Copies of this chain bind each other. A is one copy, B any other.
């Protein structure tokens, strides 16, 4: 159970992320957030030292948890092998993004700007993430399980595929009638990412792509 202090912090963050998604970060004022969260503006200053601090808190708490998730799954590479490890990782990331939908959407849309906070975050969190992904991919290539692909381009493609349901969320919902917050969508999308990995990275026989869908790949 959350303590009252954590409850207040959570309600401020929830209100902020909701408003950022509608109006964008810059157009949202501390007063907007305090009104929606039902707290005093001073409470926001007390917990987060203003809007900038609140933004930093959203970024770092999301990214810390995200990196922990990657670290944890990379620990299983010895027991499960690189193919299953990559698939499990993709699955965990999609579920994590769905669970933290508004935070993920906020983080991904803000990091496209060329700001100093972003540069700081890029040089710490994202460099770490890249290091982990690269180690996983290199292990798979060395073991002859993955095809010998261009790693920076693959990482960019993978990030494009993983973030598409967040960054093209309005498009998904209003044009494609796909709902990224629904579990059903996440499962369907995950299946496609598995196929992408099977066909594009692994040497799964092309004649039987469906036989492998959703199953653990034995290599």
Contacts and interface: CB of A to CB of B under 8 A. Distances in A.
B199 A113 contact: no
- The complex is assembled from copies of this chain, and their number is 2
A50 to B, nearest CB: 15
Contacts of A170: 111-114, 118-119, 122
A184 interface: no
A127 interface: yes
A186 to B, nearest CB: 12
Q: Chain A interface residue count: which class?
A: 35 or more
Nearest to A207: B206
A23 interface: yes
Interface in A107-139: 108-109, 111-115, 118-119, 122-123, 126-127, 130
A174 B119 contact: yes
Interface in A166-210: 166-172, 174-178, 188-189, 192, 195-196, 199-200, 206
The 6 closest A-B CB pairs, nearest first, are A160-B164, A26-B26, A152-B176, A26-B27, A160-B160, A206-B206
Interface of A: 21-27, 105, 108-109, 111-115, 118-119, 122-123, 126-127, 130, 150, 152-157, 159-161, 163-172, 174-178, 188-189, 192, 195-196, 199-200, 206
15 contacts: A25-B26, A26-B26, A26-B27, A112-B169, A119-B174, A122-B170, A122-B171, A123-B174, A126-B174, A152-B176, A152-B178, A153-B178, A160-B163, A160-B167, A161-B161
